[in-house]
Amino acid sequence: MNDLLVRAARGERTERPPVWLMRQAGRHLPEYREIREEYDFLEAVTTPEIAAEITLQPYERYRTDGVVMFSDILTVLEPLGFAYHIESGTGPVVDAPISGPDDVPQTYDDVGSSLAYVGDLLDRLDARVGDETGIIGFAGGPFTLASYAVAGRATRNHYPLRQFTARHPEAFADLLSIVADAVREFLQYQVAHGADVVQLFDTYAGVLPPADYQELILPLHRKILADLEVPTIVFVRNMGGRLDQLTATGADVIGLDWTVEMGTAREQLGDRPVQGNLDPSVLFADPETVRERTREVIEQAGPRGHVLNLGHGLHRDTPIEGVEAFVETAKSIER
Ligand code: CP3
């Protein structure tokens, strides 16, 4: 029985920090690249048997204290009425993005039926490793999902969505609100299927001015994260200067990107559980450097309420030895 992840997420003092890595299942693993020769990304995501196998690949190699279900934040766009596909070189592309207020969805399909493959995946993970490691579910946040729904693809600085916000403030609020409702139901559905911890990835919401985040996004984050029966993690990039806004979301664990010093975050956050935050690029250094830099993060976070992770997703060409050094460092701590 390994419940380190849940215990640390609840703020307990742990004998060592639990460790997992954002985007641990994916292209840095040769066994993943091999499966992807047979299944394209969305096929793998929507086939629970394959998604379970991919989810467990990094667990088999590294024995992390959590496995993050292999899926994508964009899946929830489907019940909201947005079909999308992945184009190599571009990434996800929404087939018919929102071009004006009339395109904002008024309703959405039942999340548990549209995304039944996610429930099936979580059931399989629970049956296979439920006692051995933490099962991590997740959903995208309203700003990040709305950015795709409006721009249709990845954009620099999210100008299409921010321009839409300025032109159509009411439609923007309606869009965020309906996306948030679907996301909230989706996370509850994941908990019902055995997720031990859930993470809300509103990665891009940090591009908004603080007052706009406070007024437009924060209430939705609060609503999404309220009433979940498992520990929650919030992750928004570029919030280092305003961790108070992240704590106001009500998330149990504050996800930190690498642009904030862990020691500074700990001073500001007191005993609040934190997750992070080694710069993912450090894993390209020699293993001794990885160990040193990882130990610094662990020491600065302290023994209570720390989930060791990177400050954002693993790069696709990260060396295996870098990941091994990172995970082993967490496992070598005794306190
Ligand atoms: O930690 C995890 O593994 C959780 C699963 C997860 C993935 N992507 C898996 C994935 C999560 C939480 C994401 C986040 C995500 N996906 C965001 C939020 C921003 C962030 O990075 O935090 C966004 C905007 C997306 C949309 C998306 N999906 C992008 C931009 C890409 C990359 C496209 C590319 O060609 O590189 C995807 C595909 C995707 N999602 C992969 C993985 C592991 C790559 C799959 C592959 O190409 O093999």
What DSSP letter does each residue of 202-267 carry, written as one string? -GGGGGS-HHHIIIIIHHHHHHHHTT-SS-EEEE-SS-GGGHHHHHTTT-SEEE--TTS-HHHHHH
Cis peptide bond N-terminal to 2, omega within 30: no
Contact status, residue 309 vs residue 274, Cβ threshold 8 Å = no
117 is catalytic: no
Half-sphere exposure for 155 (CA within 13 Å, toward CB): 19
List 148, 189, 204, 213, catalytic entry: 148
Q: Please state the φ and ψ torsions of residue 243, each to the nearest 5 degrees.
A: -65, -25
What local confidence, expressed as pLDDT, does residue 20 receive? 98
What local confidence, expressed as pLDDT, does residue 113 receive? 98
The dotted CATH code for 4-331 is 3.20.20.210
Annotated ligand binding at 39? The verdict is no
Ligand 1 pocket at CB < 6 A? 22-23, 25-27, 36, 41, 68, 71-74, 91-92, 138, 144, 154, 201, 203, 313
User: Exposure pattern of 278-287 as b/e (b: 16+ CB <10 Å)?
Assistant: bbbebbebeb
Atom index in ligand 1 nearest the CA of residue 87 equals 35
Residues 52-69 have pLDDT tens digits of 999 999 999 999 999 999
Antiparallel, parallel or unpaired: β 232-235 and 197-201: parallel
What's the token pair of residue 268?
């500001």
Instruction: Indicate the SS3 state at residue 18.
Output: coil
Annotated ligand binding at 27? The verdict is yes
Contact status, residue 79 vs residue 109, Cβ threshold 8 Å = yes
Annotated ligand binding at 13? The verdict is no
Please state, in angstroms and rounded to a whole number, the distance separating the CA atoms of residues 38 and 50.
10
Q: Does the predicted interface ipTM exceed a cut of 0.85?
A: yes
189 is catalytic: no
Please enumerate in sequence order all residues whose Cβ is within 8 A of that of 237, keeping only pairs 6 or more positions apart, or say none.
203, 204, 206, 257, 259, 312
- The model's pTM is 0.97
Q: Which residues, given as ranges, of the chain have pLDDT below 50?
A: none
What local confidence, expressed as pLDDT, does residue 1 receive? 87
What local confidence, expressed as pLDDT, does residue 179 receive? 98
